[in-house]
Chains A and B, each alone.
Chain A
Amino acid sequence: MPSDARSGRRAVLNRSRLVSRLQLAAMYAPAMLLFGAFVFYPLLSGVRISFTDWNGYSQHYSYIGLDHYRKLFRDPNIRTAFVNTLIYGIGSTIVQNAWGLAYAMLFNRKFAGRTVARAAVYLPVMISGLIMGYIWYFMLQYSGGALNDAMAAFGLAPVDWLADQRRAVSLILFITSIQYVGQAMVIYLAGLQTIPRMYYEAAEMDGVRAWSRFRRITLPLLAPAIITNVTLKLIGGLQLFDLVMALTAGGPGFSTHSFSTMINYLYFVSQNAGYSATLGIALFLSIMTITVVVNRYLYRKEVEY
């Protein structure tokens, strides 16, 4: 009876499909559970907390609607932190990409001591941003700091490096860039090695100038490396925390705070958990928006080439 045999085989197939589905579910389950418990649940409960005046530890709190969101837009300290977050995020993305690409072009040539120099540029990437900040403290200290010592040797007056907002923010941008430029460099170096030599040779034979070779060959073919680097730096820079904590802890006043350090301040120091959670949501949305918009733009560019 052929029809019986067929239905029997179908039953076996169905059972094996079910087993296969279950196995798949089992393989996905641990990651799903972790994301659900430690990412999505907190994200949602953060929205709830942002509607309350909770102080972070008491049993009692009340719902205050959108008050924190309204406050967020009027708070001058939040405005400063927002501008700084953009400087740390977008600024360090631009600086590190340009700087890292320049290093990659340099280290793509063979010369004596190349390996050692490249390792020296890359080594700071390994170090915690917090510890790097502390290490830089010995350079920047007002009395006895290495930089002011050098200034004195040239007959210049000592500078209180971190006392002025503009200078402090620029220094934080500079230090995070000089620490992590090695990461961008290494990714660009790997990208450069994927570009076939003959493209350059052909262009050179046609008399194409160095700058045009860079614009027309190097940059377009580096697109994947550029996208990776820009994404990495944006996500990292927009949530900068440890370096700011080590160098200024947001001071003087509130002038060097990023969103991340401000969240920590509002939660730990002012015990305003509700407001802190609101700023957390703002930080998440800012990173999401900026990264997605920039990525879209870069992918469109890549397709164009």
Chain B
Amino acid sequence: MSRTWKIMLPLVGALLAVIHLLPIYVALSVALKRPTDLTSRWQFPNYLYFEHFKNAFIDGELLRAFGNTLVLTVSTAILLVAIGSMTAYPLARIRSRLNRVWMNVILGVMMVPTLSIIVPLYSMMNRLNAINTYWGIVLILTTYNLPLSIFLYANFIRTIPRELDEAAKVDGCGHFGLFYRIVLPQLAPVTAAVLILKGLKVWNDYEFPLYFLQKPRNQTITLAISRFFSDTSFDFGSASAAAVLAVVPVTVLFLALQKYFVSGLTDGAIK
């Protein structure tokens, strides 16, 4: 590497970091300023003012929204891990024409856009009295996040050597015993990837909660934040504080688990 590159690269890297974080910085600056402070948003306040954050928490009922979102995410994640791994095992291990069809079905489901089925799905859930229920939205979120989970598990299981499987088969283990005793204990790394990728997707989801959780009592974070911004004359400070607060848990999680995030994203991506 030439010497100019050696000096330039860190500068370019720093510039890119600044550009990508700029919008978040501006939102933070709005959130921390008094409403009467009309200085430019580029300029950070030189005093401490947390009123907007207090408003966001109390008026936006953010704490409850965080709790609701956590319940949804954890329940969906448990179902995704259980059903995803169980479906993937025979799919990865048994070569048959039926399994090839099954795999294409799963691929097809991955391509169904949320909004394309929202009208019939909503009317069906309405008939089942499942609007504003957690079980309803958890089942829907599970269904639509399941294809990629099955894929990640199937790709991983293909890389596990079959020797143990064969040994267990000789000992008279059935498919289910084989999966439960031999394969499942080896799935920790890919489970971390599924939890991170899909947990994040469910945590950030907007479309499904928008339709299936319409009561303020059970709203999720994205819904709570959108309520701040959809008022025609909204309070900029509190709205930006709410948006910043919504970013905090994800950021903390990301910084703590960065390594797993990146490997989770890439493991299934390139064969």
Question: Which residue numbers of A lie inside 8 Å of B, CB to CB?
Answer: 19-20, 23-24, 26-28, 30-31, 34-35, 37-39, 41-43, 45-46, 48-49, 56, 103, 106-107, 109, 111-114, 116-117, 119-124, 126-132, 134-139, 144-146, 149-150, 178, 182-183, 186-187, 189-191, 194, 224-225, 228, 235, 238-239, 241-242, 245-246, 259-260, 263-264, 267, 273, 276-277, 280-281, 283-284, 287-288, 291
Contact = CB atoms under 8 A, between A and B. Distances in A.
A48 B140 CA distance: 21
A187 to B, nearest CB: 5
B87 A264 contact: no
A135 B115 CA distance: 24
A48 B117 CA distance: 12
A197 B1 CA distance: 15
Given A39-B143, A112-B10, A138-B23, A280 B115 contact: yes
B45 interface: no
A119 B65 CA distance: 27
Given A111-B6, A119-B258, A144-B41, A277 B120 contact: yes
Contacts of A135: 23-24, 26-27, 240, 243, 247
B119 A239 contact: no
A189 B1 CA distance: 19
A281 B116 contact: yes
Contact of A273 (B83, B114, B119): B119
B200 interface: yes
21 contacts: A24-B175, A27-B89, A27-B179, A39-B109, A106-B12, A109-B9, A114-B9, A116-B13, A121-B17, A121-B20, A126-B200, A126-B254, A134-B229, A139-B23, A149-B40, A239-B115, A242-B222, A246-B226, A260-B113, A273-B119, A287-B111
Contacts of B16: 103, 117, 120-121
B225 A149 contact: no
User: Which 10 pairs from chain A and chain B are nearest by CB?
Assistant: A128-B204, A117-B13, A120-B17, A239-B113, A190-B266, A111-B9, A280-B116, A260-B115, A42-B120, A46-B120
A283 B118 CA distance: 12
Contact of A117 (B1, B14, B115, B226): B14
Nearest to A31: B87
B246 A131 contact: yes
If over half of B's interface residues share one DSSP class (helix, strand or loop), that class is named, otherwise mixed; here it is helix
Nearest to A182: B20
A122 B262 contact: yes
Contact of B17 (A111, A116, A178): A116
B49 interface: no
Contacts of B94: 24
Contacts of B262: 122, 186
Contacts of A260: 113-115
Interface string B181-202: 0000000000000000000100
A112 to B, nearest CB: 4
Contacts of A56: 119, 122-123
A114 B6 CA distance: 12
B225 A134 contact: yes
Nearest to B27: A135
